[in-house]
Chains A and B, each alone.
Chain A
């Protein structure tokens, strides 16, 4: 049961907003609230795009990204990193680990939707 976008975000209100805007954009959504769940959901659901928060319980977003890039089956998965810290160091870390997009909170909805759309373009677009 494949989904378009997997959202890994622990902050309920932010998760709700992401869920809303990405659904509205026409994608199917699965949401998890910690790092371990994110990794298993990626393997299980094979999403087209992963929206990944950095500050996740149990396993940080960066760690999840590292595991994905180390896994041959998942290596190609487009990943959008979301962070509330927004420091240059975080952006560098994300790039080094192989993140495709980097979006700082608070974000403009269009920024996230646009970024996911671009990433979808890397994968075959549905819409």
Chain B
């Protein structure tokens, strides 16, 4: 048996379940677990908060009363999600960039951060949504009455409580529920992962419940065809196109507007969006959800109309049909589905509205009254925020209840919903202009929204009170003070028009016209232009220095924009870091000094005093002044940059020139050296050949000696040329060099053999020291030999010791092979130690001069050894002779 106690217990239990889901999800989200919470499907399910108890109960009622008209409520949003995805994407992106928290915040931010516009939007939203909240209260109350109603169950707990009392209890419960739900967190972040998860869960429950009822109806009615055959009996012409008239178009417009403008839709679609790409999924999944929701609406209505007693409320068919068939479980499930629809709507809507009320109305008032005292700490601010939200939630539900109380005689759910739709639709022109029309001005947006709101309040909101107020009823019939053309439902003398079409047409027409005309005839303030540019250039220049929206005192914003223009974005941002609320005098002082550094003290003072004192001179002037200064600074910076570039280019050229000159000098020296080296043997050759040619009185011995000298000098010349060519080849990395594994000791043997003749000639000792038994290295045996001959012969030639000695030794160790050529000669002077491996190093310092032909030897030797991946070095002086070492890697 479904007693009221059972039903209420189940409802409370269900709420407990929602709490659990929200709690767990919040924890998971905070620990960055449960990625599915951030999935596009959770997001899409949450968007279906659009489907409230109006949809759950009222769509069937609407179908029972007006046929296929109800489809408009689903078609509008579908068109928006499929056809206007670019609007949604833009809305989401700009809101992320500007850290937008609500519709009021969005419009205020776009139109010069106007707090007045934010207040207006908030007030309209709260008033406009009141009927919608009332609708939910009404639906929950009616469903409670229907499932455990007073009438049918006399003597149960609900007896004695009338509809109003029940609605008040429901409103109070909902308020408590929402406060617990939406303001649990101490942090004032605007994203609520737990709530979104609970809403998504509720979306599944309400869809499942409606589908269950639908399937039950199809089953009970004997199939789909049988049910549709009842259409005639029900008085609904399902094939009529008469429904698709101007009223139907107006409903489409309203529902399309609502999906963008309803605070709860904005909250879920935009604010709670964690990833722009989720819109892609929602683009098809949300229309699919709507399709499923509307699938059985008409069959349920047809079955209800033909099987229930006449006079039964069609809005409650989804409950009364299973009840009358004795399906209490199904009825309870259906009740939970409707309850889900209502709670999800109330939770999200009142959270969204409370954010607006507390951010744009309560907080500014509190801050003004307390002068910022008591909110100095972050905890103070967040406590204040939470309390103002809680207060706002209670206020919103109270307003909903009041509306319910004043309009309680009206039966149908759907018309109440449409009143709200029409109210929030007044935001649409301003939103579209904010996103796409750069010239739209604050004055235009404010007056347009106000005009639309007045028309709506007059023609849609007020008429809903006609049953409770005789004065309203009189105005409805005769117009105010007898002005019949101002009759709410026949504005400007247009008679015989559907009331809904009347209000939609006139409100949106006048709203849009005001927006366009006022925009064309008013100018934007500097701040508006800045914000308009940020909104308009969203996709063109992604993220170029868009300043974060500074909340709180407008003075900080003004200061920031002045600072930004003068100092540039990065410096201004750094300067303003951590500055919030009313800027302290020290900060203004510091800012003035910063500005003075850029534009001079006088200008900085004038500029700041105008901003700070709110001088009659418009901010715009200051901004223009700052803008001009900024341009001058930019220009001079540009000049500086250019001249710096020129300087660096000149320096580079100079460096290059120096390098070239050094190379040139090197070349000159080389040629000079070569010239000297060549001229020396040439001199002997020429001189002796002239002697041979010209002197007749030469002895055979003299002749023989001179010819021998000529021959020797020719050989020396040849060797010199070979060296020069060889070095050139080495310099240019000539091909034909083959490093092969060789037995290095053999090269030493050959070099000693060649040099021993020279040593004998000089009467000196060429000794062979300790030798490595065997060493295989990678190299060219002839070249290694050549290097060794060069080293040994140099050691022999330059050795002027009394008992000249040259020793060659070799050893291996640590993967390396070492050959050393040591002598007991004069050694290499310190000054020349670094130079000796240079080309033609001989005699540079005017000190010890090597004998002829040694100029290129060491330079070439070093290059040859490097070709074998080894190195040739002169060991540090030990005071006795010189020692050259060749180090080669062992194979």
Contacts and interface: CB of A to CB of B under 8 A. Distances in A.
A106 B679 contact: yes
Given A17-B688, A106-B687, A109-B694, A86 B679 contact: yes
Nearest to B668: A87
Most-contacted residue by chain B among A11, A59, A60 (CB, 10 A): A11
Given A16-B709, A109-B694, A57 B849 contact: yes
A2 interface: no
A10 interface: yes
Nearest to B852: A11
A78 B685 CA distance: 27
Nearest to A89: B672
Nearest to B676: A84
B682 interface: yes
Contacts of B695: 24
Given A10-B849, A24-B695, A107 B672 contact: no
Given A21-B691, A84-B679, A13 B712 contact: yes
A42 interface: no
B675 interface: yes
A109 B683 CA distance: 10
A60 B846 contact: yes
Nearest to B681: A13
A24 B686 CA distance: 17
B686 A107 contact: yes
B684 interface: yes
B683 A106 contact: yes
Contacts of A104: 679
B713 interface: yes
- The main secondary structure of chain A at its interface with chain B is loop
Given A16-B709, A109-B694, A85 B676 contact: yes
A125 to B, nearest CB: 22
Interface residues of B, number: 26
A92 to B, nearest CB: 15
B709 A55 contact: no
B849 A14 contact: no
Most-contacted residue by chain B among A57, A104, A105 (CB, 10 A): A105
Interface string A80-122: 0000111100000000000000001111111000000000000
A59 B683 CA distance: 22
B690 interface: yes
Interface in B643-682: 672, 675-676, 679-682
A108 B675 contact: no
Contacts of B687: 14, 17-18, 21, 106-107, 109
A84 B691 contact: no
Given A58-B847, A104-B679, A109-B687, 15 more contacts: A11-B683, A11-B852, A13-B712, A14-B680, A14-B687, A16-B684, A17-B688, A17-B709, A24-B695, A55-B843, A55-B849, A57-B849, A85-B675, A106-B683, A106-B686
Interface of A: 10-11, 13-14, 16-18, 20-21, 24, 55, 57-60, 84-87, 104-110
30 contacts: A11-B684, A13-B681, A13-B684, A13-B709, A14-B680, A14-B684, A17-B684, A17-B688, A17-B691, A17-B709, A18-B687, A24-B695, A57-B848, A57-B849, A58-B846, A84-B680, A84-B683, A85-B672, A85-B675, A85-B676, A86-B679, A87-B672, A105-B682, A105-B683, A106-B679, A106-B683, A106-B687, A107-B687, A108-B690, A109-B694
